[in-house]
Structure 1
Amino acid sequence: MRFLMLSRFLKRREIMLKNNLIVLLFAAAGLFSSCGNVNRYSITGSLPARYDGCLVKLTPATFYFSEEKPSPVDSVKIKDGKFRFAGTVQEPTVYMITIDGVDYKIPDMASIAVVIEPGDITMKYDTLGIIMAGTPVNERYRATIGEAKRETVRQRQLLWQERDSVKRLPGSVENEVDTYYNLKSSAIFKENVIPASENFIREYAGTEIGEFFFFHCCGKDMYSKAFVDEVYPTIRPEIREQYEALIRARQEKQEYFMHSQKATEVGMPYREIVAWTIDGKEVRLSDYVGKKQLILLDFWASWCIPCIQEVPLLKKLQEKYKNQGLQIVGVSVDSDREKWQGALDKHQPAGIQISELKGWESVSRVDYGVQAIPFTVLIDASGKILARNPHGPLLEEIIEKYFSQK
């Protein structure tokens, strides 16, 4: 009898242990599952249907002064006005969302910053810009910087309406009106975005989020001195060094540019230009200086409408004075070979046409201190600069006077 009772007790004990084990296994499974969900994120975007088929890319954010250029970690096409990214993240991290084929005149659409953190992030668009929401940091950004940017757009929309009305008034001077309203536009940005940016960045000072938005919201020089003194020291030393190296390089470039303007004043010797024709032939300005009576440098670009408008006059001058020794050298500051080629084919500008295809970073542009185009330089037979940036009737007058004295 005792043996039977012991046997039944052990049997019940075994069943209880098995049940407890099953409960523990389910609990563990739930624990691991919940741990996995803790670090999961999703980004769901809603955009107008006209963007269907556009490719959306998700790329780790970098500082604008960093040489690092990361590749996208994910991409997806917009379908029915929607797109979605999902994955895991260990800690809140800034990424950039870029959309191929969008209208970059829409506020904030060129490159959209998003803080990826655990949770469901939503991205919505309206005429005031992009709204990021759904997770703690993105909600905080939306309530501060995001709302300040939207208010800036609202006020600017009214401002541009007022500007356009003023332009239609009799006697208004368009350039003066534009200058006045551009200053008001800058003031709107400063009043709205800078205080909001300081508040947001201050909350995340000492984190990578704070560092990124410190440099990418407004720029160090736009913040209040008290804010910079408080927050700038919290940024990692290596990041500060990268930024300060960029500032030094910019200052050196600006100093050289100002030197170039003085070095190419009237009466100064010409500076060498080395560039290439559309078919790849190297051309040096020194190949023509001294061999021609007068060199006309014409800095232009395919995208510059005022430059194209000067083409007929330059053709006229080339035809009129070619036998007397006028040589036009067109120096394009294009960066796209195909666009340069297209402009050459369409407009057939006068003279020899060369380019470094480095855009605004062209050495020749910097060496001659060219701030805007079209820009002209006349170089006489001795290699001295005769005139700097004459246009229209003044350009014709200088050239006519020069050859009449020969």
Structure 2
Amino acid sequence: MLRNNLIVLLLAAAGLFSSCGSGNHYSLTGSLPTRYDGCLVKLTPATFFFSEEKPSPVDSVKIKDGKFRFAGTVQEPTVYMLTIDGVDYKIPDMASIAVVIEPGDVTIEYDTLGIIMAGTPVNERYMTTIGEAKRETVRQRQLLWQERDSVKRLPGSVENEVDNYYNLKSSAIFKENVIPASENFIREYAGTEIGEFFFFHCCGKDVYSKAFVDEVYPTIRPEIREQYETLIRARQEKQDYFVHSQKVTNVGMPYREIVARTIDGKEIRLSDYVGKKQLILLDFWASWCIPCIQEVPLLKRLQEKYKNQGLQIVGVSVDSDREKWQGALNKHQPAGIQISELKGWESVSRVDYGVQAIPFTVLIDASGKILARNPHGPLLEEIIEKYFSKK
């Protein structure tokens, strides 16, 4: 009898553990057009955009017959990023979407408006708030872009002005739809890791309503707030320095040093040429910048015409990819000395000269003073001609 009772207890315990295990199971199934078969889908723990942590995917699978599926166990609802490599971005949210992994079966269907998510409590609540608001935003924007394109075809329309007008309307659509929905969702999960993540993921702190921020921001863990505020301070310092750089590189101000390397690795300093040449033409450009490439013939003509009078062109590439920079140099043969830090938009020289867009030119006279800031085309030719005619 004792032995039989022991067997019963062991079986009951086994059933209890089995029940607990099955209660933590989840599955995540996605459906999308079969043209994306073969694309790799990855499931990665979500991190805050300001976090230095870069987690690796915990699972990955290829799309087959328009489907992908993940399955496993989870102890508590956790936010993951679902990313798909090799997509054309025509479906909103297709490349990357936040999804809450929680016990149960989650389904995600992709269509031209984005995603439809269902199956578990948090994800369904996300769908009825943020998800539907994003789909409505896409729907309204599609109509807006049709209207914009029709206006562009009207006689006398100015493309830039039309684009600016409709971009403002597009921004207003987002604010009207997504921000209130995000606040509703986040408020429900305030004080949890889900609420914390979506607070920073959905919109910026300065975009939400003040009442919402005053209510929810204090519920976020102090260490997370400190990480975020440290980033904001650093961004503000960079912006302040950039504005300062624009002021101190105005016409009449002394040039700022540039240190970079040629494609073969030789270090070049701008100070090696200022004062030894009558006029320096700094040309900030990049291999991916079409308007920059279009200026190459003009700069070649200027270098050829004035090189004997002391014109020196120094091309400063803001590329980050050596091979692409090398390819552009080989293909277009730009004039003058060509250098780069290969740091992309983080190049020190770009920041030091307050370069907001490229192509960007700076003329430095023989005394080391800035003669002109960002002239192009006929104006650039005119300034150089006048300078050398006076000499």
Instruction: State the TM-score, normalized to the length of structure 2.
Output: 0.97
- Cα shift readout 1:326-353 (whole Å, capped 9, x = no counterpart): 1111111111112112211221111111
SS at match of 2:312: strand
Query: What does the per-residue CA deviation read over 1:37-80, in whole Å, with 9 as the maximum and x for residues that have no partner?
Result: 11111111122222222221111111001111111111122222
Q: Distance in 2 between matches of 1:333 and 1:134?
A: 47
Cα separation, 2, equivalents of 1:49 and 1:287: 59
- The CA distance in 1 between the partners of 2:39 and 2:268, in whole Å, is 42
d(CA) in 2 for partners of 1:32, 1:147: 39
Displacement over 6 Å in runs of 4+? 16-20
Look up the match of 2:288.
303
Which SS does the other structure have where 2:172 is aligned? Answer: helix
CA RMSD of superposed structures (Å)? 1.4
2 CA distance for matches of 1:310 and 1:48?
43
Aligned equivalents of 1:338, 1:173: Cα separation in 2: 38
Supply the distance in 1 between the matched residues of 2:90 and 2:309 (Cα, whole angstroms). Answer: 49
Instruction: Give the structure 2 partner of residue 320 of structure 1.
Output: 305
The answer to whether the Cα contact below 8 Å between 2:90 and 2:112 also exists between their aligned partners in 1 is no
More displaced, 151-160 or 303-312?
A: 303-312
- Specify the SS of the correspondent of 1:364: helix
Q: Which moved more, 1:95-104 or 1:135-144?
A: 95-104
Which of structures 1 and 2 has the bigger CA Rg? 1
Give the whole-Å Cα distance in 1 for the aligned partners of 2:272 and 2:280: 11
Does the residue aligned with 1:35 lie in a helix, a strand or coil? helix
CA distance in 1, matches of 2:94, 2:342: 28
CA shift digits 1:377-405 (9 cap, x unpaired): 00011111000000000000000111111
What is the CA-CA distance between 1:130 and the residue it aligns to? 2.2
Higher mean Cα deviation, 316-325 or 229-238?
316-325
* 3-state SS of 1:86 partner: strand
The whole-number CA distance in structure 1 between the counterparts of 2:265 and 2:106 is 50
- 380-389 vs 281-290, which moves further: 281-290
Q: Deviations over 1:89-110 (max 9, x none)?
A: 1111111111111123431123
TM-score where L is the length of structure 1: 0.94
227, 244, 269: which is aligned to 1:242? Answer: 227
* Distance of aligned partners of 1:130 and 1:279 in 2 relative to their CA distance in 1, 3 Å threshold: farther
Per-residue deviation, 1:32: 1.7
CA displacement, residues 195-220 of structure 1 (integer Å, 9 cap, x when unaligned): 00000000000000000000010110
Distance 1:79 1:274 in 2: 51
1:177 matched to which residue of 2?
Answer: 162
* Superposed displacement of residue 281, structure 1: 1.4
Q: Which moved more, 1:182-191 or 1:117-126?
A: 117-126
Q: How far apart are residue 18 of structure 1 and its match?
A: 7.0
| 1:230-287 deviations in Å (ceiling 9; x for gaps) | 0000000000000100111111111101110010000100000111111221111111
5+ residue gaps, structure 1, are 1-15
Aligned equivalent of 1:388: 373
Which of 335, 348, 361 is matched with 2:333 structurally?
348
Distance 1:262 1:61 in 2: 40
1: CA distance, partners of 2:117 / 2:191: 23
> C-alpha separation between the residues in 1 aligned to 2:284 and 2:144?
35
How far the C-alpha of 1:142 sits from its partner, in A, is 0.7
Matched, 1:280 2:265: yes
Q: Equivalents in 2 of 1:342, 1:50: separation in Å? A: 33
Q: Give the Cα–Cα distance (whole angstroms) in 2 for the partners of residues 385 and 283 of structure 1.
A: 20
What does 1:116-265 align with in structure 2 at a 5 Å threshold?
116-265=101-250
Structure 2 residues not aligned, in runs of 5+: none
The DSSP-based 3-state class of the residue aligned with 2:83 is: strand
Helix, strand or coil for the counterpart of 2:206?
helix
Whole-angstrom distance in 1 between the partners of 2:55 and 2:15: 36
Report the CA distance between 1:159 and its aligned residue.
Answer: 0.1
- Equivalenced residue count is 391
Secondary structure in 2 aligned to 1:222? Answer: coil
- How big is the shift at 1:29? 3.0
- Shift of the alpha carbon at 1:21? 5.8
Deviation at 1:139, TM superposition (A): 0.6
Per-residue deviation at 1:17?
7.0
Kindly state the Cα deviation for residue 229 of structure 1 after the two structures are TM-superposed: 0.1
